[in-house]
Amino acid sequence: MSKRVAVLMGGFSVEREVSLKSGAAAAAALERAGYAVATMDVRRDARILVAGLEAIQPDVVFNALHGRYGEDGAVQGVLDIMKLPYTHSGLLASALAMNKPAAKALFAAAGIPVAESRVVHKNEILKGDVMARPYVLKPLNEGSSVGVHIVREGDNAQPLNENDWPFGEWVMAERFIPGREVTVAVMGDRPLGVTEIVSDRDFYDYTAKYSTGGSRHLVPAPLPEADFAEAQRLALLAHQCLGCRGVSRADLRYDDTRPGEPARFYMLEVNTQPGLTETSLVPEQAAHAGIPFEELMTWMVENAQCDG
């Protein structure tokens, strides 16, 4: 008898629409692979979630949620209590990866280069610059570049005001790293490759990530061989130091802008539940490594775990 898989999708974070696409793609691939699949659009009511899962009685939960409450350990805790194996990382790794200051502290302790940063109250930002320009303002615990704002030399407008920051009282300010955007998917203990992301927008923001034509992906990234290997090493180290499992994706900056000096990588973040849409990076990188989408989804289900 084939395994029964419940695909959690949608949710109630700002990344809901992307999650619906990821969940639909995963569900279709798993059905083609012969699994019995049921999908659940997760709402903000844990009682409904638990009742729905009890009705489905899945062997495995495929977690296709993105953003807060689906990617930050909240749903993982419920699944652990129910003793249901699920894809991607567990509660602690998910929570650590989603909290940017906590993740950066662990990266730095592991010897992974990170940009200088500080956590500031939004009232401090309203009074003026919180570090030398250019710098980046980021929510502490959102994904997909939601809320990210670059403060550049010559910008006259306030980077935020009291009414347009729905992400809490505290903000991470981070030194802007020039150069190129690269990303590395990790599958278990195996880096799958390196992709360079090229966008005509100011940076690889939400629109560039998920709009058709918003960015171009260079697979494999045109990097020197030693730098290509270093990007993969750093991604695997970040995956391991957070305690991730399953599939993750590390985003890095590659600063090759200083003449006469070697290029340097800086770890930006690790995504414990990377997107699975038609423009997503992990399926594209896996395919280049010889792993078709259906095989990738199957591997994730067969390697699902829980900490219950």
Known catalytic residues? 15, 144, 210, 249, 251, 269, 271, 275
Q: Indicate the burial class of 280 (C-beta count within 10 angstroms; 0-12, 13-18, 19 or more).
A: buried
Give how far Cα 177 sits from Cα of 189, 212, 278, Å: 28, 26, 28
Rounded CA-CA distance 173/149 in Å is 10
Q: Are strands 36-41 and 4-9 parallel, antiparallel or unpaired?
A: parallel
Inter-residue contact 235 to 191 (CB < 8 Å): yes
Chain centroid to Cα 214, Å, comes to 18
- Lookup: tokens for 308: 């219950």
Inter-residue contact 174 to 138 (CB < 8 Å): yes
What is the DSSP annotation of 53-82? HHHH--SEEEE---STTTSSSHHHHHHHHH
- Lookup: tokens for 261: 């000096």
Closest CA to 33 of 14, 10, 60, 52: 60
C-beta atoms surrounding 100 within 10 Å? 21
Q: Would the CA dihedral through 15, 17, 22, 24 be positive or negative?
A: positive
Locus of tokens 């989408």: 293
